[in-house]
Homo-oligomer: A and B are copies of this chain.
Amino acid sequence: MKTQLNWQVGHTADRTQPPTEFVPATVPGAVQLDWARAHGWPQPEYDPDVTKYAWMEDVFWLYRAPLVFDLAAGERLFFVCKGVDYQFEIRLNGEILHEQEGMFTPVELDLTESAKTGDVLEVLVFPAPKSCATPVDRNQANQSCKPTVSYEWDFHPRLIPLGIWDETVLETRPAAHIRFAEVMYEFNADLSQVTVHLTAGFANPMGQPLRWRLLAPSQAEVIREVETVDADVISVNATLAAPVLWWPNGQGEPARYTSIIELLDHAGHVVQTQTQMIGFRQVKLVMHPTQWQEKEVVQFPKGRHTSPITLQINGRAIFAKGSNWVTPTMFPGTLTKAFYREQLQLAKDANMNIVRCWGGANVQKEAFFELCDELGLMVWQEFPLACNRYEGTPEYLQVLDQESKSIIRRLRQHPSVLLWCGGNELFNNWSKMTDQDLALRLLNRNCYDLDPNTPFLMTSPSMGMAHGGYFFRRADGAEVYQYFAQSHATAYTEFGVTAPANVEVLKKIIPEAELFPPKPGTQWQVRHAFKAWEPHSWLDLPTIRDYFGEAHDLEQLVEWGQWLQSEGYKAIFEEARRQKPVCSMALNWCLNEPWPTAANNSLISWPTVPKPALQAVAQACRPALASARIPKFSWRADETFSCDVFLLNDAPMPVEGDIEVLLYVGGAVLALGEWDNARAEANQNAVGPTLRVVLPDVEPGEMRLAVRVENKPEWDSEYRLLLK
Q: Which residues of A contact B (CB under 8 A)?
A: 284-285, 287, 292-293, 297, 299-305, 307-308, 427-429, 432, 434-436, 438, 441-442, 444-445, 448-449, 452, 455-456, 459, 461-470, 474, 476, 483-484, 487, 489, 492, 495
Task: Given A436-B284, A452-B438, verify A487-B301 contact (CB < 8 Å).
Answer: yes
User: Is the Cβ of B467 less than 8 Å from the Cβ of A292?
Assistant: no
Measured CB to CB, the nearest residue on chain B to A394 is: B186
A12 to B323, CA, bound (A): 64
Main secondary structure, interface of A, reads: loop
User: Is the Cβ of A428 less than 8 Å from the Cβ of B284?
Assistant: no
Partner of A448, one of B308, B441, B462, B492: B441
Task: Given A441-B452, A463-B463, verify A468-B435 contact (CB < 8 Å).
Answer: no
Q: Which residues of B contact A449 (CB under 8 A)?
A: 445
Given A301-B483, A301-B492, A445-B449, 20 further pairs, Cβ under 8 A: A287-B434, A297-B429, A300-B470, A300-B483, A301-B487, A301-B489, A302-B428, A303-B461, A303-B464, A303-B465, A303-B466, A305-B428, A308-B435, A308-B436, A436-B455, A436-B456, A441-B448, A442-B448, A444-B444, A444-B448
Partner of A489, one of B303, B459, B487: B303
Q: Which residues of B contact A445 (CB under 8 A)?
A: 444-445, 448-449
A468 to B308, CA, bound (A): 24
10 contacts between A and B (CB under 8 A): A284-B436, A285-B434, A299-B474, A300-B466, A301-B468, A303-B463, A304-B463, A304-B465, A305-B428, A307-B435
Task: Given A448-B442, A452-B438, A463-B463, verify A301-B432 contact (CB < 8 Å).
Answer: no
Measured CB to CB, the nearest residue on chain B to A476 is: B299
Q: Which residues of B contact A442 (CB under 8 A)?
A: 448
Report the minimum CB–CB distance from A299 to chain B (whole Å).
Answer: 7
Q: Which residues of B contact A474 (CB under 8 A)?
A: 299-300
Measured CB to CB, the nearest residue on chain B to A432 is: B292
User: Is the Cβ of A459 less than 8 Å from the Cβ of B304?
Assistant: yes
Partner of A441, one of B435, B456, B467, B495: B456
Instruction: Return the 9 tightest CB-CB contacts between A and B, nearest first.
Output: A300-B468, A301-B466, A300-B469, A304-B427, A292-B429, A445-B445, A441-B448, A285-B436, A445-B448
User: Is the Cβ of A302 less than 8 Å from the Cβ of B466?
Assistant: yes
A438 to B293, CA, bound (A): 23
Q: Which residues of B contact A476 (CB under 8 A)?
A: 299
Q: Which residues of B contact A285 (CB under 8 A)?
A: 434, 436
Report the minimum CB–CB distance from A651 to chain B (whole Å).
Answer: 26
Kindly report how many copies of this chain are found in the complex they form together.
Answer: 2
A489 to B304, CA, bound (A): 11
A109 to B441, CA, bound (A): 35
Q: Which residues of B contact A303 (CB under 8 A)?
A: 461, 463-466, 489
Q: Which residues of B contact A468 (CB under 8 A)?
A: 300-302
A268 to B285, CA, bound (A): 62
Report the minimum CB–CB distance from A184 to chain B (whole Å).
Answer: 14
Report the minimum CB–CB distance from A473 to chain B (whole Å).
Answer: 12
A429 to B287, CA, bound (A): 11
User: Is the Cβ of A301 less than 8 Å from the Cβ of B495?
Assistant: yes
Report the minimum CB–CB distance from A552 to chain B (whole Å).
Answer: 32
Report the minimum CB–CB distance from A304 to chain B (whole Å).
Answer: 4
A258 to B436, CA, bound (A): 30
A226 to B432, CA, bound (A): 45
A432 to B286, CA, bound (A): 10
User: Is the Cβ of B293 less than 8 Å from the Cβ of A429?
Assistant: yes
Report the minimum CB–CB distance from A378 to chain B (whole Å).
Answer: 16
User: Is the Cβ of B305 less than 8 Å from the Cβ of A427?
Assistant: yes
Q: Which residues of B contact A292 (CB under 8 A)?
A: 429, 432
Measured CB to CB, the nearest residue on chain B to A305 is: B427
Q: Which residues of B contact A436 (CB under 8 A)?
A: 284-285, 307-308, 455-456
Measured CB to CB, the nearest residue on chain B to A435 is: B307
A489 to B448, CA, bound (A): 31
Report the minimum CB–CB distance from A412 to chain B (whole Å).
Answer: 15
Report the minimum CB–CB distance from A345 to chain B (whole Å).
Answer: 30
A492 to B492, CA, bound (A): 31
Q: Which residues of B contact A462 (CB under 8 A)?
A: 304, 435
Report the minimum CB–CB distance from A557 to chain B (whole Å).
Answer: 25
User: Is the Cβ of B300 less than 8 Å from the Cβ of A467?
Assistant: yes
Tell me which of A300, A308, A469 has the highest count of chain B C-beta atoms within 10 A of its own C-beta.
Answer: A300
A462 to B463, CA, bound (A): 11
Tell me which of A308, A438, A445, A459 has the highest count of chain B C-beta atoms within 10 A of its own C-beta.
Answer: A445
A461 to B305, CA, bound (A): 9
Partner of A434, one of B293, B307, B466: B307
A205 to B555, CA, bound (A): 85
Q: Which residues of B contact A302 (CB under 8 A)?
A: 428, 461, 466-468
A464 to B455, CA, bound (A): 23
User: Is the Cβ of A304 less than 8 Å from the Cβ of B461?
Assistant: yes
Q: Which residues of B contact A284 (CB under 8 A)?
A: 436
